[in-house]
């Protein structure tokens, strides 16, 4: 009964997430969970890293994209899909479309990181350039929509996407039954919405915490204000975490995310370095933010989280230009 | 019966490898096997990457070290262990010794990469510096042996080490039953000896191929000459692959390794870049050489290997200074 109430109130629920899992599991990688005793000793807790950087396309985004693409009926699908995402969602949608044999039109701002553009091309997406502003991106996408009749697949404010991303939590909690806390990067809220709905449904005692860059802390401000706050500008090395919450993700974040931990870029880069040097996993800045959060004073010194002993951390993606990476390390 | 003959002729066999597995499995990580459709498409085969860079200590070396340490009787163990390895074996031995609560004396040449020295210290090894020459390293180690009564654990020319490293192949062939070929970095021959003995015993049709840097191609020369060849000097970016075969590893390499594929440093660095950018795995140059080998003309154009369709590649380690790594990428 509770679930029925939820599915009216929220964009997804445990049953849409389980449906997504059944729909996509033959296409996705079941990503491994890694751990390091050295990182455990630094954190003073057991950390379990869910390596979505090893997902196809290099990020968790393939889960949602796959669920969206394979949810389309044949008539819709034939016309293809469009998105104006800047990166990982675009690559993921391209790859999922390729698997179904339909076109993916990807509107990309001219300032997007090179490796993310290469990923889109590698996976067969048709790149359509726009200016860097959100207005130009949306206008260009609308133009493509009108010309092709394709279906818009929003990177996060979409029930199919939220349900697909939630499969990360289903897998993680199957892989490790001791997890009492999950820390998830937050941007537009697609991943954390799916994770929170799945995890809280499987075990209401699990804490779901968001990690957010200080220079793009719209979600923390939104939680504090009780309504969606957007920012006039964002400034963070974590280029994947600059989006704002949408009307479908906000109610889930508001009601199911226990707290938002804010970290600065220096902490993100230090966490990224630990991922490379200790875990041996190549993450992008957005992907390392969960580790930055558990190592931050904001988490460690908060008595509310002192009983978080087995923490699942979602390493959300690994698409980074090595040159940009090195610049970050050198400057910090 | 065949196995009895083998154990007289060679330093290890499938039963010593299975004993090693039982001895060490509660201490080691069962490392995941990753794959990438993009890399498959480049290679024209299915590649299955066994990620020993995620092993404790950052390399496969922990398997052999653990087997050696936990094979000691209590009296021997109490006096500790010594080695004069330059890197991953040293870290691995330190960590295994720490788990047993015994001292590890690690003789390290002054020119060893910083991250490898840090690894030894992180895992509680007692660093004893020597000059960079093998003579100085051996002399210093002998001095420590005499002073402490500790047990020397050679990095590869040791039956306990060979047996421990062979557990990589047991795991890999359990994780993927289709594998018809395994490509293994070769240096002193400990890893490939264990892998070849295990794999050929489980399935005699499996091809076991070594990957070796052109600037340290003593194993290729040895196979061609039919006896152990050592080199006056070595020159390769793959600092973990500069050792020469020993009297215990040579007969196994001679009799069970099907071929040795030689690659140059540029190919190693390109393979390392693919590991970072596509697989999202942080490998050291030595770790990436198996991928370099399958992408080389020496492998691709050799008709003997045209039926190698499902290739296990051992990503042997991930301990690299990020600064050194970046220099390599920039210069190539």
Per-residue pLDDT tens for B295-330? 999 999 999 999 999 999 999 999 887 777 777 777
Selection from B77, B78, B219, B58 nearest residue B160 by Cα: B77
Distances (CA, A) of A129 to A112, A124, A243: 10, 15, 19
Any B CB within 8 A of A37 CB: yes
- Rounded Cα gap, residues B62 and A37, in angstroms: 14
Of A324-328, B46-50, B84-88, the poorest mean pLDDT is in: A324-328
**Contact status, residue A316 vs residue A52, Cβ threshold 8 Å:** yes
A chain contacts of residue B329, beta-carbon cutoff 8 Å = 322
Is the distance from CB of A249 to CB of A155 less than 8 angstroms?
Answer: no
Give the full edge-to-edge strand order of the sheet including B310-315: B33-34, B46-51, B310-315, B181-185, B207-213, B259-263
Q: Which of A152, A187, A202 is the last residue of a domain?
A: A152
Chain B: residue whose CA lies nearest to A57:
B278
- Do residue A230 and residue A318 come from a single domain? yes
Distance from chain centroid for Cα A90: 13
The SS3 call for residue A13 is coil
Q: Do B280 and A53 touch (CB under 8 A)?
A: yes
Q: Which of B103, B119, B152 is the last residue of a domain?
A: B152
Residues A16 and A121 in one domain: no
* pLDDT at B1 (0 to 100): 40
Q: Average of pLDDT values for B207-230?
A: 98
Quick check: A143 and A106 in contact, CB under 8 A? Answer: no
Q: Is the pLDDT of residue B293 over 80?
A: yes
Residue B244 is encoded by which pair of tokens?
A: 């020469």
Measured distance CA(B284)–CA(B295) in Å, rounded: 17
Asked if the C-beta of B113 comes within 8 angstroms of chain A's C-beta atoms, the answer is no
- Mean pLDDT over the full length of chain B: 93
- Token pair for residue A296? 């931050």
Question: Pairing state of beta strands B104-109 and B81-83?
Answer: parallel
Q: Is A280 within 8 Å of B54 when comparing Cβ atoms?
A: yes
As for the ipTM of the complex, it is: 0.91
Is B98 assigned a catalytic role? Answer: no
As a whole number of angstroms, the distance between CA B143 and CA B131 comes to 14
Task: Work out the number of other CB atoms within 10 angstroms of the CB of residue B108.
Answer: 24
Answer whether B37 sits within 8 Å of A56, measured CB to CB: yes
CB pair distance less than 8 Å for B279 and A54: yes
Q: Which of B152, B173, B206 is the last residue of a domain?
A: B152
How far apart (Å, rounded) are the C-alpha atoms in residues A32 and A52?
8
Per-residue pLDDT for B208 more than 90?
yes
Distance from CA of B43 to the nearest CA of A (A): 15
Asked if B61 is an active-site residue, the reply is yes
d(CA A119, CA A111): 15
The contacts of residue A57 (CB under 8 Å, 6+ apart) are: A65, A88, A91, A92, A94, A95, A119, A123
**What whole-number percentage of chain B has pLDDT above 90?**
84
Q: What residues in B contact A115, CB-CB < 8 Å?
A: 277
CB contact under 8 A, B115 and A38: no
For residue B63, pLDDT over 50 is answered with yes
Q: With an 8 Å Cβ cutoff, is A32 touching chain B?
A: yes
- Is A294 found in the same domain as A244? yes
Interatomic CA distance for residues A192 and A249, integer angstroms:
9
Please identify which residue in the block is written with the tokens 């459709």.
B37
Among candidate residues A50, A56, A61, A116, the one labeled active-site is A61
Q: Nearest to residue B52, comparing CAs of B67, B68, B27, B32?
A: B32
* Nearest residue in chain A measured CA to CA from B283: A280
Residues B136, B56 share a domain: no
Verify whether the Cβ–Cβ distance B56 to A34 is below 8 Å: no
Residue B166 neighbours by CB under 8 Å, 6+ apart: B12, B16, B17, B20, B193, B194, B195, B197, B198
User: B144 and chain A: CB distance < 8 Å anywhere?
Assistant: no
In sequence order, the 6+-apart residues with CB closer than 8 A to the CB of A331 are none
Closest by CA to B95, choosing from B72, B73, B63, B71, is B63
CA distance A57 to chain B (A): 9
- Asked if residues B45 and B51 have their Cβ atoms less than 8 Å apart, the reply is no
Which residues in chain B are closer than 8 Å to A281, comparing Cβ atoms? 54, 280-282
Task: Please give the backbone phi and psi of residue A293, each rounded to the nearest 5 degrees, phi first.
Answer: -65, -45
Angstrom distance (rounded) from CA A296 to CA A290: 10
B90/B108 same-domain check? yes
- Strand order across the B126-130 sheet: B126-130, B104-109, B81-83, B151-152
Same domain, A99 and A195: no
Residues B231, B322, single domain; the answer is yes
Chains A, B: CB contacts within 8 A come to 59
pLDDT of B194 > 80? The answer is: yes
Q: Mind listing the pLDDT tens digit for each residue in B215-226?
A: 999 999 999 999
> What's the confidence (pLDDT) of residue B86?
66
Chain B residues within an 8 Å CB radius of A322: 273, 276-277, 326, 329
A322/B contact by beta carbon, under 8 A: yes
Contact call for A34 and B54, based on CB within 8 A: yes
- Spatial neighbors of A182 by CB under 8 A, at least 6 apart, are A169, A172, A195, A199, A206, A207, A208, A209, A311, A312, A313, A314
Record the tokens describing residue B93, joined without a space.
């031995």
For residue B260, the surrounding DSSP H or E stretch is strand B259-263
Question: Is B115 in Cβ contact with A277 (below 8 Å)?
Answer: yes
- From the list A38, A115, A279, the residue facing B122 with the nearest CB is A38
In degrees, to the nearest 5, what angle opens at C-alpha B226 toward C-alphas B249 and B159? Answer: 10
Per the CB < 8 A criterion, the answer to whether A242 and A216 are in contact is yes
Residues B272 and B166 in one domain: yes
Pick the closest to residue B15 from B166, B157, B158 (CA basis).
Answer: B166
Distance from CA of A123 to the nearest CA of B (A): 9
Residue B77: CB partners within 8 Å, gap ≥ 6? B69, B100, B102
Q: Quick one: tokens of B40?
A: 């498959």
Would you tell me which residues 200-219 of chain A have a C-beta closer than 8 angstroms to some C-beta of chain B?
none
With CA atoms as reference, the chain B residue closest to A51 would be B280
In chain A, where do the E strands start and end? 33-34, 46-51, 81-83, 104-109, 126-130, 151-152, 181-185, 207-213, 259-263, 310-315
Give me the CATH number covering residue B76. Answer: 3.40.50.1100
- DSSP character string of A137-186: HHHHHHHHHHHH-PEE--SSSSHHHHHHHHHHHHHHHHH-TT--EEEEE-
pLDDT of residue A84: 86
- Catalytic choice (B56, B61, B200, B223): B61
Question: In angstroms, rounded to a whole number, what is the distance separating the alpha carbons of residues A109 and A236?
Answer: 17
What residues in B contact A122, CB-CB < 8 Å? 38
**Burial readout A198-215 (b: 16 or more C-beta within 10 A, e: otherwise):** bbbbeeeebbbbbbbbeb
| Cβ <8 Å between A279 and B54 | yes
Residue of A nearest to B317 (CA): A280
Core vs surface per residue A234-254: b (16+ CB within 10 A) or e: bebbbbbbbbbbbebbbbbbb
CA distance B332 to chain A (A): 13
The catalytic residue among B56, B71, B85, B86 is B86
Q: Provide the token pair at A309.
A: 């002993």
Other residues' Cβ atoms within 10 Å of the Cβ of residue B230: 11
Query: Is the domain of A241 the same as that of A129?
Result: no
A295 and B CB contact within 8 Å: no
* Structural domain count, chain A: 2
Task: Tell whether B67 and B144 lie within a shared domain.
Answer: yes
Taking alpha carbons only, the member of B149, B133, B128, B65 closest to residue B100 is B65
Shared-domain flag, residues B182 and B142: no
Confidence (pLDDT) at A239? 87
Which of B91, B280, B281, B288 is the best substitution to test chain A (most A C-beta atoms within 10 A)? B280
* Residue A146: Cβ within 10 Å count: 9
Residue B322, chain A, CB below 8 Å: the answer is: yes
* Tokens 């004396």, located at residue: B105
Range of the domain at B247: 2-60+158-331
- Residue by residue, pLDDT tens for chain A (332 residues) are 444 444 568 999 999 999 999 999 999 999 999 999 999 999 999 999 999 999 999 999 999 999 999 999 999 999 999 998 768 899 999 999 999 999 999 999 888 878 778 889 988 999 999 998 888 998 999 999 999 999 999 999 999 999 999 999 999 999 999 999 999 999 999 999 999 999 999 999 999 999 999 999 999 999 999 999 999 999 999 988 999 999 999 999 999 999 999 999 999 999 999 999 999 999 999 999 999 999 999 999 999 999 999 999 999 999 887 777 777 777 66
**What average pLDDT does this structure show over B215-242?**
95
- Residues A86, A214: one domain? no
Q: Quick one: pLDDT at residue A86? A: 66
Show residues of chain A in contact with B53, CB under 8 Å. 280
> DSSP state, B278?
I
Handedness of CA B198, B203, B204, B208 (dihedral sign): negative
């Amino acid at each position: 009964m509770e679930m029925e109430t939820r599915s009216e109130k929220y964009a997804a629920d445990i049953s849409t997430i389980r449906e997504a899992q059944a729909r996509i599991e033959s296409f996705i990688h079941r990503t491994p969970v890694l751990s390091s005793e050295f990182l455990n000793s630094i954190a003073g807790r057991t950390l379990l890293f869910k390596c979505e950087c090893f997902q196809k396309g290099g990020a968790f985004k393939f889960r949602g994209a796959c669920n969206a693409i394979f949810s389309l009926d044949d008539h819709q699908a034939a016309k293809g899909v469009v998105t104006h995402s800047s990166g990982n969602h675009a690559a993921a949608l391209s790859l999922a479309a390729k698997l179904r044999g339909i076109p993916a039109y990807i509107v990309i701002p001219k300032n997007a990181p090179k490796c993310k553009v290469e990923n889109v091309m590698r996976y067969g997406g048709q790149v359509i350039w726009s200016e860097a502003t959100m207005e130009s991106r949306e206008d260009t996408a609308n133009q493509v929509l009108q010309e092709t009749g394709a279906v818009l697949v929003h990177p996060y404010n979409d029930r199919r996407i939220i349900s697909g991303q939630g499969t990360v939590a289903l897998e993680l909690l199957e892989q490790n039954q001791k997890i009492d806390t999950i820390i998830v990067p937050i941007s537009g809220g697609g991943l954390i919405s799916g994770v929170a709905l799945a995890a809280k449904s499987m075990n209401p005692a699990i804490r779901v915490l968001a990690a957010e860059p200080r220079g793009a802390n719209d979600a923390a401000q939104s939680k504090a204000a009780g309504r969606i706050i957007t920012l006039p500008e964002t400034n963070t090395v974590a280029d994947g975490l600059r989006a704002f919450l949408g009307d479908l993700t906000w109610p889930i974040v508001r009601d199911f995310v226990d707290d938002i931990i804010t970290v600065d870029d220096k902490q993100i880069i230090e966490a990224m370095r630990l991922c490379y040097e200790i875990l041996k996993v190549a993450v992008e800045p957005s992907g390392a933010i969960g580790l930055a959060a558990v190592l931050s004073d904001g988490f460690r010194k908060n008595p509310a989280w002192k009983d978080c002993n087995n923490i699942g951390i979602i390493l959300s993606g690994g698409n980074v230009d090595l040159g940009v990476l090195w610049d970050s390390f050198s400057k910090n």
